[in-house]
Structure 1
Amino acid sequence: MMTLLKVNQITKSFGKFKALNGVEFTVNEGEIFGFIGPNGSGKSTTIKAILGMLKTNSGTIEVFGKDAWTQAVEIHENIAYVPGDVNLWPNLTGGEVIDLFLKLSGTKNNEKRDALIKKFDLDPTKKCSSYSKGNRQKIALIAAFATNADLLILDEPTSGLDPLMEQVFQECVLEKKREGKSILLSSHILSEVEKLCDRVGIIRKGEIVETGSLNDLRHLTRMHFVVQTKEKLTALEQQVGVHDITIEEDTYHFQVDSKEVSNVIKYLGQFELMKLESMPPTLEDLFMRHYGEDIERGE
């Protein structure tokens, strides 16, 4: 599998503040890579470096095998970028802006452009000064999805979109994947990342703390068990790997370390069970494992 984007041990400091410290990940051909982390974790700084807008202190970034800083102009011929807060020319209409972006990218596909305008329910005749934040996002997304770019870099792209338009966005992302395109998706909507992404990278305070597929990462967290019994589960709290037990009448809720699941199921086999449910950890569970304390402090 060909690697389109390779971020290798990059660092970036602003004065004494170290915004990025050894950030490293790859995005492969035909892959959707989720890049997640709270505000201030280094997502946007990393993306600016990938786009050649920011020079790193050390490390390398290669896009299509080219240096992101010295060959940025060539790289931009084959990428599409959507920021989280789109600013447009106020005196141009939405349609004029879309056409301008497509002309700059060397794309001429009016049929695809018109289909996307209809899909996103955008009135392209209005001037940009009259658009809401959500409609400005739609313009940038339509322009990006209408291009033939091999790599799409989407930084919080659904900011301001309503749930119906978020669904349309997800359909467009999956369509791009079917076309063999690659997508770097930075998002705070964990359900969106979980639904779309082949692999995820979690960044915390300028460092990548986990990278891998959801299946790769799920062993790092706990399964949720719901057990309904006719008798008391004696010594449940003494079982290795069992945490956070709550009891509601005859129903037990608890967490189990993934590596201890088999042993806990053997233990439960001693009892007469009316119901046994086990749910795999979600991306949100994994995210909270790394960020719980920081989010509570308002990070």
Structure 2
Amino acid sequence: MSEILKVEGIKKTFGKFEALKDVSFTANSGEVIGFIGPNGAGKSTLIRILLGIIKRDKGNAEIFGKDVWSDSIDIHKRISYVPGDVNLWSGLTGGEIIDLFIKLHGGGSQSKKDDLIKRFEFDPKKKAKSYSKGNRQKVGLIAALSVDSDFYIFDEPTSGLDPLMEVVFQEEIKALKEAGKAILLSSHILSEVERLADRIVIIRQGQIVESGTLDELRHLTRSHIILETENDASEIADLAGVYNFYQTKHSVKFDVDHHHLNSVLLKAGRIGVTKFESSPPALEDLFMKHYIHK
């Protein structure tokens, strides 16, 4: 894999407000980076810097080894971008706008465009002023996915789409990844990021608070355990690392820290386990840890 995006020590202030504080991460070819954080965390500010729309105050940001500010015109020839709310020309049809976007990019695949229109169940003949938010998003997605770019930036791309259309988008992202493209995916749909991302970057109040693969980040939260045992399992509640213990007549449920799981399994083995279920922490657990419990 080759490095496509390199962000080092990016800082950005608006007046006295520090929007980004020493943000650093990378993205490689054939890799999906999940970029998550609530409104106001700094995601869109960083994306605007990467697009050359606003200038960073400090740090370095490069795409294809080129500076995102001074070389933005060259960079734009090889990237596709879809914002969270696509603004359209109300007097044009969706099809006309898609064709315009593709032309501005330098050309795309007619067959790919037609296939995407069909798969997204999109009517390109209607005027843009009649489109719902979901249909406006489809215009941006169809246009972006119809061209052959090397780096794709999606900022809340499925906002307004129904679940079936989200699946179509996810299939397209997987195809781009297999084709060796780099993707930066900013999304509030945590299950979508969890399903697609190779690495995850969590931003909070302008700072990167965690980054890594989902497996690498799972140590931050507890696994959920359900046990059915032959004998009383109440002793498990007193073990280190066990939380939220709940016992019924035939089973127990609890959460356990990753590094205490072995001692729990040893104790459960002595009690006599007839059923064991373990659920690893989801990305949402990681997200909530940083935004609810801090």
Whether 1:97 aligns to 2:97 is: yes
Partner of 2:127: 127
- Aligned residue type for 1:233: A
Q: Which moved more, 1:5-14 or 1:107-116?
A: 107-116
Q: Does 1:292 align with 2:257?
A: no
Instruction: Give the alignment of 1:9-28 within 5 angstroms.
Output: 9-28=9-28
Q: Give the whole-Å Cα distance in 1 for the aligned partners of 2:82 and 2:206.
A: 22
- Deviation track 1:237-284 (CA, whole Å, cap 9, x = no partner) reads 221111111123322111111111111101111102221111111111
The answer to whether the Cα contact below 8 Å between 2:18 and 2:206 also exists between their aligned partners in 1 is yes
Counterpart residue number, 2:168: 168
Q: Which residue of 2 aligns with 1:69?
A: 69
Q: Could you tell me how far apart the structure 2 residues matched to 1:126 and 1:60 are?
A: 43
Q: What SS does structure 2 have at the residue aligned with 1:118?
A: helix
- Give runs of aligned pairs for residues 218-229 of structure 1, distance below 5 A: 218-229=218-229
**Aligned residue for 2:256?**
256
CA distance in 2, matches of 1:108, 1:201: 31
Which aligned segments of 4 or more residues in structure 1 are displaced greater than 4 angstroms?
Answer: none
Q: Letter of the aligned partner of 1:89 in structure 2?
A: W
The Cα of 1:112 is off from its aligned counterpart by 0.9
Partner of 1:272: 272
Tell me the SS of whatever aligns to 1:219: helix
Which amino acid counterpart does residue 35 of structure 1 have in structure 2? Answer: F
The residue identity in structure 1 corresponding to 2:168 is V
CA distance, structure 2, for counterparts of residue 204 and residue 67 of structure 1: 25
Q: In structure 2, what is the equivalent of residue 297 of structure 1?
A: none
- Which aligned pairs between 1:203-242 and structure 2 lie closer than 5 A? 203-242=203-242
3-state secondary structure, aligned to 2:271? coil
Q: Which runs of 5+ in 2 are unaligned?
A: none
Give the Cα–Cα distance (whole angstroms) in 2 for the partners of residues 248 and 21 of structure 1. Answer: 48
Shift of 1:230: 3.0
TM-score for both structures, normalised by structure 1: 0.96
Residue 60 in 1 paired to residue 60 in 2?
Answer: yes
Once residues 173 and 272 of structure 1 are traced to their aligned partners in structure 2, the CA distance between those partners, rounded to angstroms, is: 45
Aligned AA for 1:86? V
Q: Paired residue for 2:151?
A: 151
1:49 match: 49
- 1:190 partner letter: L
Provide the secondary structure at the position in 1 that maps to 2:126: coil
**What are the superposed Cα offsets for residues 216-241 of structure 1, whole Å, 9 maximum, x if unpaired?**
11122111100112322243222111
Give the letter aligned to residue 182 of structure 1. A
Aligned equivalent of 1:110: 110
Q: Give, in whole Å, the separation in 2 of the partners of 1:293 and 1:264.
A: 25
Contact 2:108 2:148 in 1 (8 A): no
Q: Secondary structure at the match of 2:115?
A: helix
Write the letter of the residue equivalent to 2:194: E
Question: Using the alignment, how far apart are the partners of 1:162 and 1:218 within structure 2?
Answer: 29
Deviations 1:29-48 (A, max 9, x none): 11111000111111111111
Q: Distance in 2 between matches of 1:265 and 1:72?
A: 55
Larger displacement relative to structure 2 (269-278 or 50-59) = 269-278
Which shows bigger deviation, 224-233 or 8-17?
224-233
The structure-2 alpha-carbon separation of the partners of 1:234 and 1:127, relative to structure 1 and needing over 3 Å to count, comes to closer
Report SS of the residue matched to 2:260.
helix
SS at match of 2:165: helix
Aligned residue type for 1:78: R
Give the aligned length: 294
**Shift in Å, 1:178:** 1.5
Does the 8 Å contact 2:9/2:24 carry over to 1?
yes
Q: Deviations over 1:115-164 (max 9, x none)?
A: 11111111111111111110000000000111101000000000000011
Secondary structure, aligned partner of 1:194: helix
Deviations, residues 142-190 of structure 1 (Å, cap 9, x unaligned): 0011110100000000000001100111111111111111110000101
Bigger mean CA offset, 278-287 vs 75-84: 278-287
